[in-house]
Structure 1
Amino acid sequence: MTFDLTLLAPYLGDLAAGARLTALACAFALAGGLLLGVMAALMRTAASPVARRIADVYVDIFRNVPFIVQLFFLFYGLPEIGIEMSAFCTGVLALSLAGGAFTSDVIRSGILAVEPGVLEAAQVSGLSRLAIYRRIVLPIALRSSVRPLGAVFVNLILTSSILSAVTLNELTGSARIVAADTFQPFEVYALLLVLYAAMTWLVSLSAGVLHRRLNREHG
């Protein structure tokens, strides 16, 4: 067996397009997951037992059910009740829901880590509960959560490889097509390993740099 990456040269454009689609889907999912995670974390730390229960049910479902089952339900199940979405929108929604469940744990830990004295001082100053969370609690929680949120984003990138199961030709889907066309699966999937490793390393590095910068500025 010979290892010849030059055979893949005509297909680099297809792989690059798949990588861009993966990056775009993960970027949207990161934003959606962060929004859902913050909302769920606030509900899980709220005084209302109803709000806490609703958030706990959401987190339990999307954290404990296999992602591919969630994906198939959204892509194949929802059309049966009249809700249809493109493969890309379905993938982003599925990643956002799953990512939000894990993000809520991270944000919740950050909220609970805020020192009681800080909250007491804010209450004494006359700030409303909404203002305290918006101006004090969430900034502190998010700043302390950068590294674990980076790990969540890395997991989103890895999980996005399953989106090819619903006909979305992201990076893994594109690689599968190239492997079938070239009959060179070893070279194709070796390159795929390198690309995923590079993307996840870049995210981890960026999260580390951002964490150090934020904590240096507020240290």
Structure 2
Amino acid sequence: MSFDLTLLAPYLGDLAAGARLTALACALALAGGLVLGIIAALMRTAASPLARRVAEVYVDIFRNVPFIVQLFFLFYGLPEIGVELDAFSTGVLALSLAGGAFTSDVIRSGILAVEPGVLEAAQVSGLSRFALYRRIVLPIALRSSVRPLGSVFVNLILTSSILSAITLNELTGSAKIIAADTFQPFEVYALLLVLYAVLTWLVSLSAGALHRRLNRDHG
């Protein structure tokens, strides 16, 4: 068997386009998942039993159901009730919902790790509960959660490869098309392996650097 990466040279632009689509989908999903995760974490630490239960149901569903089942439900199931989304929007929504469930665990842990003395001092100063969380609890929780959130983002990148199942030509989808066109699956998927490794390594490196920068004055 010969190994010739030069055969893929004409397709590098397609792979680059797929990589950009993967990066965009994951960046949007990270933002969406962060918002959902913060909301779910606040509900899971709320005094209301109903709020805690609703959040736990959301987390349990999207953390314990296979991602491809969630994806197929959104892409093929929702149109049956009149809700139609294109492949990219469906992919971002699916990643956001799944990412939010995992992000809520990270944020919740950060909230619970805030020292009681900090909360007591803030309450004595007369801050409302909303101001307390907005100005003190969430900033501390997010600062301590940078590394775990980096891991969630890495997982989103890896999970995004499944979006090719709904005809989205992200990185994996583009690679599948190229492999079919060139009849060189070994070279194509070897390159794909390297690209995913580089992407996830860069995210992990960036998360570590951001964590050190945000926490350098906090021990």
Q: Give the Cα–Cα distance (whole angstroms) in 2 for the partners of residues 140 and 12 of structure 1.
A: 43
Deviation at 1:218, TM superposition (A): 3.7
Structure 2 residue aligned with 1:165? 165
TM-score, normalization by structure 1: 0.99
Aligned to 1:99: 99
**Mapped pair 1:114 → 2:114:** yes
Aligned-residue CA RMSD in angstroms? 0.5
Aligned positions of 1:132-171 closer than 5 A = 132-171=132-171
What is aligned with 2:28?
A: 28
How far did residue 217 of structure 1 move? 3.4
- CA distance in 1: counterparts of 2:113 and 2:11, whole angstroms: 49
After TM superposition, the structure 1 = structure 2 runs for residues 120-131 of structure 1, keeping only pairs within 5 Å, are: 120-131=120-131
Unaligned stretches of 5+ in structure 2? none
CA offset digits 1:162-202 (Å, max 9, x no partner): 00000100000000000000000000000000000000000
Give the 3-state SS of the residue equivalent to 1:157 in structure 2.
helix
Q: Any runs of at least 4 consecutive aligned residues in structure 1 with deviations exceeding 6 A, and if so which? A: none
Distance 1:55 1:148 in 2: 20
Distance 1:133 1:36 in 2: 16
1:80 deviates by 0.1
What is the SS of the residue equivalent to 1:84?
coil
Match in the other structure for 2:199: 199
Q: Secondary structure at the match of 1:217?
A: coil
**How many residues matched?**
219
User: What residue number does 2:64 align with?
Assistant: 64
| Correspondence for 2:42 | 42
Which residue matches 1:217? 217
Could you tell me how far 1:58 is from its partner in structure 2?
0.2
Identity %: 90
The Cα offsets for residues 123-146 of structure 1, whole Å up to 9 and x where unpaired, read as 000000000000000000000000
Query: Residue 4 of structure 2 corresponds to which residue in structure 1?
Result: 4
- Amino acid in structure 1 at the alignment position of 2:5: L
Residue identity matched to 2:99: G
* 1:206 shift after superposition: 0.3
CA distance in 2, matches of 1:66, 1:90: 16
Unmatched tracts of structure 1, length 5 or more: none
Residue of structure 2 equivalent to 1:84: 84
